[in-house]
A and B are shown apart, each in its own frame.
Chain A
Amino acid sequence: MADSIEKGIIDIVADIAGVEPDEIHPETNFAQDLEIDSIKAIEITVAIEKKFKVSVRDEDVPKIMTLQQAVELVTKLLEQKGLMHG
Chain B
Amino acid sequence: MGNAGSDTYDAVIIGAGIGGLVCGCYLAKAGMKVLIAEQHHKPGGYCTSFRRKGFLFDAAAHSFGGYRKGGVVRKIITELGIDQKLNIDCFQPSDTVRTLDYTVSFWSDVEHTIAEFERAFPAERDRIRSFFTFLQSGSREDLIRLRVLTFLEFLNTFFTDAKLKAVLSLPLFGNGGLPPSRLSAFAGVKIFSEFLLDGGYYPEGGMQRLSDAFAQTFTESGGVLRLSADVQNILVNNCSVGGIRLASGEEFHAPRVISNCDARQTFHTLLGRPHVPDDFLHTLDGLVPSSSLFVAYLGIDQSFSALPLPGANIWFMPHYDLERAFEVSRQGTIDHNKEFMIRLSPDAKTLLAFVNVQYIGKSYWSAQKEDRLQALLSLVETRLIPGLSKHVMVREGASPHTLYRYTRNTNGAAYGWASTPSQFLMPHFRMPSFLKGLFLVGHWTTLAQGIPGVMYSGLETATKITKRRARTLSCH
Contacts and interface: CB of A to CB of B under 8 A. Distances in A.
Verify that A and B bind, or say they do not.
Answer: yes
Interface of A: 15-16, 18-20, 31, 38-39, 41-43, 45-47, 58, 61-62
Contacts of B145: 58, 61
B143 A42 contact: yes
Given A15-B427, A15-B433, 11 more contacts: A18-B464, A18-B467, A20-B471, A38-B143, A39-B425, A42-B144, A42-B186, A46-B147, A46-B425, A61-B141, A61-B144
Nearest to A12: B427
Given A15-B427, A15-B431, A39-B425, A45 B144 contact: yes
A19 B427 contact: no
Q: Which 6 A-B pairs have CB atoms at the shortest separation, nearest pair first?
A: A18-B464, A38-B143, A61-B141, A38-B140, A43-B425, A61-B144
Contacts, number: 40
Interface in B29-67: none
Contacts of B147: 42, 45-46
Nearest to A46: B425
A39 B447 contact: yes
Interface string B424-462: 011100010100000000000001000000001000000
Contacts of A62: 141
A20 B471 CA distance: 9
A10 B141 CA distance: 20
Interface of B: 140-141, 143-147, 186, 425-427, 431, 433, 447, 456, 463-464, 467-468, 471
17 contacts: A15-B431, A18-B463, A18-B464, A18-B467, A20-B471, A38-B140, A38-B143, A41-B143, A42-B143, A42-B146, A42-B425, A43-B425, A43-B427, A43-B447, A46-B147, A61-B144, A62-B141
Contacts of B456: 39
Contacts of A42: 143-144, 146-147, 186, 425
A62 to B, nearest CB: 5
B4 to A, nearest CB: 33
Contacts of B467: 18-19
Contacts of B186: 42
A16 B426 CA distance: 10
A58 B43 CA distance: 43
A41 B140 contact: yes
Contacts of B143: 38, 41-42
A47 B430 CA distance: 13
A61 B141 CA distance: 6
Interface centre among B145, B186, B426, B468 (most CB of A within 10 A): B145
Nearest to B471: A20
Contacts of A61: 141, 144-145
B467 to A, nearest CB: 5
A18 B456 CA distance: 15
Contacts of A46: 147, 425-426
A20 B475 CA distance: 13
Contacts of A18: 463-464, 467-468
B468 A38 contact: no
A39 B194 CA distance: 14
Contact of A47 (B140, B146, B427, B463): B427
Contact of A31 (B140, B146, B425): B140
Nearest to B143: A38
Interface centre among B140, B426, B447, B456 (most CB of A within 10 A): B140
Contact of B144 (A16, A41, A47): A41
Contacts of A20: 471
Contacts of B447: 39, 43
Contacts of A43: 425, 427, 447
Interface centre among A16, A45, A46, A58 (most CB of B within 10 A): A46
A31 to B, nearest CB: 7
A16 to B, nearest CB: 6
A47 B425 CA distance: 9
Contacts of A16: 427
A63 to B, nearest CB: 10
B380 to A, nearest CB: 36
